[in-house]
Structure 1
Amino acid sequence: MSNSAKADILVIDDTPENLHLLSSMLTERGYKVRSVTKGLTGLRGAQAAPPDLVLLDINMPQMNGYEVCQQLKANAVTREIPVIFISALGDVPDKVQAFSVGGVDFITKPFQVEEVHARIENHLSLRRLQQQLQAQNLQLQREIDERKRAEEKFSKAFLASPSPIAITTLAENRFVDVNPCFLRMTGYDRDQVIDHTADQLQLWLAPHSYDQALQQLSQTGALHNHEFDCRTHSGEQRTVLLCLEQITLEGQPCALNMLNDITERKRLENEFISVVSHELRTPMHSLIGALDLLSTGQLGQLSDQGRQILSMATSNTERLIRLVNDILDLERLKSGKLTLKKVSCDVADLLTQAAAAMQPMANEVQVKLQVEPIAAQVYADCDRILQTLTNLLSNAIKFSPAHTTVRLTARVDRPNLLIQVQDQGRGIPASNLETIFERFQQVDASDARKKDGTGLGLAICRNIVQQHGGQIWAESQMGRGSTFTVSLPLEAAHE
C-alpha cells in the first residue's frame, strides 16, 4: 500500500462493470484497489500481499464467494482480513451462509456507492482497532513474560543468597518475605516474621534511626552501607551493614533490606582498637608529663620559637590522649564492660551543669548559650548523661557562627524525657544524619583538624543513650542549623 492510500482493498467479482464501478469509486476516495475476476486469482493475491479488506461477490465460476471466504479464513496469513460480501442474492439464507463462512457484512446489489463507502470505513476502523488491541496484547504478553522471567531470577537469587534479605512494606514496615539466610541470622521461624513489623520483633536497637533511613529511602530510592545494631530472637546483638532499595511488589511500595553481618569484623576491630589504645595510653601520659616539665623552665629557658613548638606539641599530645580515652570509653560501652550507676537525677541540675561546663567555650567563640531547665526526675547514670549533654553542646558550639544561639531544652513527653540541643550552624546533609553517629565520621573530612575533634563524641553519645534504653537522633536543614534529640525513659525498674 502506498503511503498516501487510506487502505488496500481487494475486489473479487466476475462482472467487469461492477469491478470498474467499485474500483473508480474507491480510488476517488483515496483507496488503493486491486481488482480480479476469479476467486482463485483473488486467493493467490491475498496470500501474496494481504489487503486491508476484501469485497467479494458470491456467484462466480469455478469457485464461488463462499468457498473463497472459507479458504481465506482457513489461512493464518489472511484469516483476520475483513470480508464484505456484495451480491445480487439477498435472501436471508444467503446472508446467513455469508456470515457463517466468516463474512463481516453483506451488501445487496444494486448497491449505493455511499453505503458501500460507509460500510468499508466502518470495518476498516474496526480492523485498525483490532490490530491495535492485538499489538497491545502482544506487548503486554511480552512484558508479562519478561516480568515472570525477572521474578524467577529474583526468586532464585533471593532464596540462594548467602546474605540476609528481607522485604518490608514502606507504609507499616511489615515483613512481606525473608530469605533463609535472614532466618538463620535472626533465629526466627518464617511464621514468626511474616506479617509482623520490625517494632513487634524489636529487631532494631535504634528503631528511630531505621525510620529515618526509610524516610531518606522515599526521597532517594536507595541507601547503601548504613551500620545498624539488631537483636536476634535469642536476644543476641549483631551489627550489620544495611542496604535499602525501594521496590514495588504487587503494586505495593516496599523496601528491599539487604544485610551484611559484620559482627565478627567489628569484634576484631574493637579488640584491636582496645589493645592499641591501652598500649598508647602510658607513653602518651609520659610524653605530656615531659612536655609539662619543659614548659616550667626547670630544664632551661626556650626561645619564642621553642615555646611555640612546645605549645603545639602539648596541644597535639592532649588531643591524642582525648582520642585514646574516647576510644576506650566507646569500647567499654559497646562491650558492656562499663557499668551504669543509675540513680534518680534532677533534670534541671543536669542541664544547668552541662551549660556551666561549656560556658567558657561558648564565650571564647562568642556564641550565646541558652538553657531552659524543667522540673523533672529521670532514672539514669547522671555522670554519663552529663557527658552526653556536654558532648552535644561542644559539637553545637564548634559548628555555630559567632553571635548565634545554642539552646539546651527539655520537655516531658510521657513515657519519655526529651532533651534537645539546637544550633544555628551550617546544618547536616540528609545523607549524613545517621552516619554521623558512627565512629570517626565527620560531615567534612577536615572537621577533625579544624574543630579539634576525635570523631567519636556522637558515637559515645549514642551508646550511652542506648544503654539507658533510649534513642538519639538528629534533624537538620542546610544553612539553618541542626537539632539533636535525646529520648530517655522517665521511669525504669531500679536495678
Structure 2
Amino acid sequence: MTNQPAKSPKADILVIDDTPENLNLLSSMLTAQGYKVRSVTKGTTGLRGAAAAPPDLILLDVNMPEMNGYEVCQQLKTNPLTREIPVIFISALGDVLDKVKAFAVGGVDYITKPFQVEEVLARIQNHLTIRQLQTQLQQQNAKLQQEIKERQQAEEKFSKAFRSSPNPIAIATIQEGRFIDVNPCFLTMSGYSLEEVIGHTADELHLGNAAESLTQTIQMLPQTGSLYNQEFEFFTKYSETKIILLSIELIDLAGVECALIIANDITERKRLENEFISLVSHELRTPLTSIMGALDILGADQLGTLNNQGKKVLTIASNNTERLIRLVNDILDLERMKSGKVFMNKVNCNAAELMVQATEAMQAMAEKSQIQIIVNPLNIELNADPDRLLQTLTNLLSNAIKFSEPGDTIWLNAELQKDNLIYVKSLNQKFPSLLISVQDRGRGIPESQLQTIFERFQQVDASDSRKKGGTGLGLAICRNIIQQHDGKIWAESILGEGSTFYIRLPIVMSQ
C-alpha cells in the first residue's frame, strides 16, 4: 500500500467548555470539517494552552467554574501572544446584556445554545477568513514599513553622498531635461547659484557647445541606456571653458524618471596632456625634417644609384616619413587651436564659394578613385574664417572619398535653417543657422563610435591609418574649428549604407 501524505488541518481551534457533551459535539463536528481541535474544560487550562501554542480561533463558553468566559477572554486580550486570536462565545445565555459584555471584553462573535451546526461552521469560517486577511495585511504593512525605512536610509545615504561629493553632480528630468537639483560642487564649478540652475536645461544655461545635444541625450536615456565618461566642453557663468567627463545614469525619484549626471573636471589634466603632446611634437619636427631631406638626397641619386629593391625601400621610408610629418603638423595645429594660440580670422565670406572651392580642391582625388562629387551650394554670407572652413570641408570630402567605392557618389549640400537658432557666446545672442552636409554611400560607422570619432586618434578601423593614410586627427581638428565658430558638427550613419557629416554654423554678419 502507498502511504498517502497527511493533509494539513484547515486551522487550529481551541474549545473551552466545562460540559464534556458540548466538547465532544464541537470536537467531532470540527474534526469532520478538517480542523485541528484542542478541548479543555477549565479556563485556566485554556489560557496556558493558548499561550503555549496559540490557536487560530477559540470557542469559549461563558458559564464555567473558577473562571468564567468573560474573565478568560479579558486575560487572553492582555497577553501579547494571544490578544489577536479571535474569540467566539458559545453560551446558553441569550440576554442582550450578556452579548454586549462578550463584545466588550474582546469577543468577535456570540452564538446562542442550542446552536445550528451550519451556523457555527459558517461563523468560524468567516472569522478565520477575517483573521487570515488581517494577518496578511499586518505582514504587508510590516513589509511596507521595512521598505519605507530602507528607502529612507538609502535616500539619506544618497543625499549625504550627493551633497558632500567632490564631483559635480546634477539631477535632471528625463521628459524635458530640466535640472531639479545640483550639489554644491556643481555650483562651484559652474559659477551659478542654485536658484539660477533649478528649472533650466543645459541649453538654456549655455553650458557648452553641445548643451543642446546633452539635453537630447538626457531625454533619450530610457532608449539608449547609460552614458559613461563622455568628454564635454563646459561653459561656466563667467565664460570660462572647462573640459569634463560626463557619466549619466537613469534613476527613479518618487515615480519620476530622472537622469543622474556626474561630472569629472579634467581641465588641468587635459592641459598637461596637451602641453606634453605639443612638446613631443615640436621635438619630433627637427629630426623628421632632417630624415626627409636625407631621403630626398638618396632619391635624387646624389649619393649613388640604388637598385630597384633599394628604390622600393626608399619609397616606403619616404611615404612613412611624410605621414609622420603630417601627423606632427596635425597635432601641433590641433594643440595651437585648443590652447587659443590660433585665432579664427573671421571675415564676410560666401558659403557657396567655399563649397565650390572645396569640391574643386578634391576633384583630382575623386577622379583618381572614380568617385563623383555633386555639390548643391547655397548663396549666403557668413562671418567666418574662410581658410579654416575650407580646411574642414576638404577634410570631410577627403574622408568620404577614402571610404567610398569606385562608382559611388558623394553629395555636398547646404540648407538655411531660420528656426534652428544657435547661441553665440561672445554676442550673447541666438542666430539662424546654415546646415552643411557631406553624404556618402560608404561602409558606414557603428553607432557606438559616432561620438568618439571626433576625438584624437580615433578611427573606425585601427588599420585605416595605414590603408587610408590618415592621422586620426582630421575630425578632431574639424570639430575644434567648428566649435570656434560657435557651431556644431556631428555624424549620422547606417552600417553598410553610408554616412552623413553635418556642420551647423550661425549666420552672423560683421557690423
TM-score, length-normalised on structure 2?
0.92
Letter in 2 for 1:351: M
- In structure 1, what is the equivalent of residue 40 of structure 2? 36
Question: In the alignment, is residue 304 of structure 1 matched against residue 313 of structure 2?
Answer: no
Look up the SS of the partner of 1:201 in the other structure. coil
- In structure 2, what is the equivalent of residue 175 of structure 1? 179
Distance 2:444 2:162 in 1: 39
- In structure 1, what is the equivalent of residue 23 of structure 2? 19
Q: 372-381 or 90-99, which moves further after superposition?
A: 372-381
Q: 1:61 to 1:205 in 2, by over 3 A?
A: same
1:61 is matched with which residue: 51, 59, 65? 65
- In structure 2, what is the equivalent of residue 263 of structure 1? 267
Distance 2:291 2:495 in 1: 42
Q: Check conservation: 1:209, 1:473, Cα contact below 8 A.
A: no
- In structure 1, what is the equivalent of residue 481 of structure 2? 464
Distance 1:439 1:215 in 2: 28
Distance 1:389 1:491 in 2: 19
Distance 1:42 1:468 in 2: 91
1:132-170 deviation digits (Å, cap 9, x = unpaired): 111111111111111111111122222221221111222
1:265-296 deviation digits (Å, cap 9, x = unpaired): 11111122222222222332332233223223
Q: Check conservation: 1:216, 1:430, Cα contact below 8 A.
A: no
Alignment gaps of 5+ in structure 2: 1-5, 419-431
Q: 363-372 or 480-489, which moves further after superposition?
A: 363-372
Report the CA distance between 1:357 and its aligned residue. 2.3
Distance 1:309 1:83 in 2: 104
Question: In the alignment, is residue 455 of structure 1 matched against residue 472 of structure 2?
Answer: yes
TM-score, length-normalised on structure 1?
0.94
Letter in 2 for 1:453: G
- In structure 2, what is the equivalent of residue 276 of structure 1? 280
- In structure 2, what is the equivalent of residue 398 of structure 1? 402
Q: Check conservation: 1:354, 1:390, Cα contact below 8 A.
A: yes
Q: Check conservation: 1:86, 1:107, Cα contact below 8 A.
A: yes
Report the CA distance between 1:402 and its aligned residue. 4.0
Q: Check conservation: 2:175, 2:219, Cα contact below 8 A.
A: no
Distance 2:67 2:149 in 1: 44
Report the CA distance between 1:215 and its aligned residue. 5.6
Report the CA distance between 1:480 and its aligned residue. 2.9
Question: In the alignment, is residue 420 of structure 1 matched against residue 424 of structure 2?
Answer: no
Q: Check conservation: 1:208, 1:473, Cα contact below 8 A.
A: no
1:77-131 deviation digits (Å, cap 9, x = unpaired): 1111111111112222111111111111111111111111111111111111111
Distance 1:95 1:368 in 2: 102
1:8 is matched with which residue: 2, 8, 12? 12
Q: 1:365 to 1:94 in 2, by over 3 A?
A: farther
Distance 1:209 1:391 in 2: 24
Identity over the aligned pairs, expressed in percent?
A: 67
- In structure 1, what is the equivalent of residue 429 of structure 2? none
Pairing 1:45-444 to 2, within 5 Å after superposition? 45-211=49-215, 213-214=217-218, 217-414=221-418, 415-444=432-461
- In structure 1, what is the equivalent of residue 498 of structure 2? 481
- In structure 1, what is the equivalent of residue 422 of structure 2? none
Distance 1:270 1:296 in 2: 38
1:180-234 deviation digits (Å, cap 9, x = unpaired): 2222222222222222222222112322442454366433532221111101121
Q: Check conservation: 1:384, 1:464, Cα contact below 8 A.
A: yes
Report the CA distance between 1:341 and its aligned residue. 2.0
Report the CA distance between 1:348 and its aligned residue. 2.2
Distance 1:238 1:3 in 2: 73
Aligned length: 493
Q: 7-16 or 207-216, which moves further after superposition?
A: 207-216
Distance 1:141 1:117 in 2: 36
Report the CA distance between 1:413 and its aligned residue. 0.8
Q: 1:404 to 1:84 in 2, by over 3 A?
A: farther
Q: 1:105 to 1:373 in 2, by over 3 A?
A: same
- In structure 2, what is the equivalent of residue 491 of structure 1? 508
Look up the SS of the partner of 2:383 in the other structure. strand
Distance 1:411 1:290 in 2: 49
1:34-62 deviation digits (Å, cap 9, x = unpaired): 11111111111111111111111111111
Distance 2:153 2:217 in 1: 31
Q: Check conservation: 1:440, 1:456, Cα contact below 8 A.
A: yes
Distance 1:187 1:407 in 2: 44
Distance 2:466 2:91 in 1: 98
Q: 1:264 to 1:37 in 2, by over 3 A?
A: same
Distance 1:356 1:24 in 2: 107
Report the CA distance between 1:417 and its aligned residue. 0.5
Distance 1:12 1:196 in 2: 72
Q: Check conservation: 1:277, 1:324, Cα contact below 8 A.
A: yes
Q: Check conservation: 2:203, 2:212, Cα contact below 8 A.
A: no
Distance 2:209 2:348 in 1: 24
Alignment gaps of 5+ in structure 1: none
Report the aligned-residue RMSD: 1.9
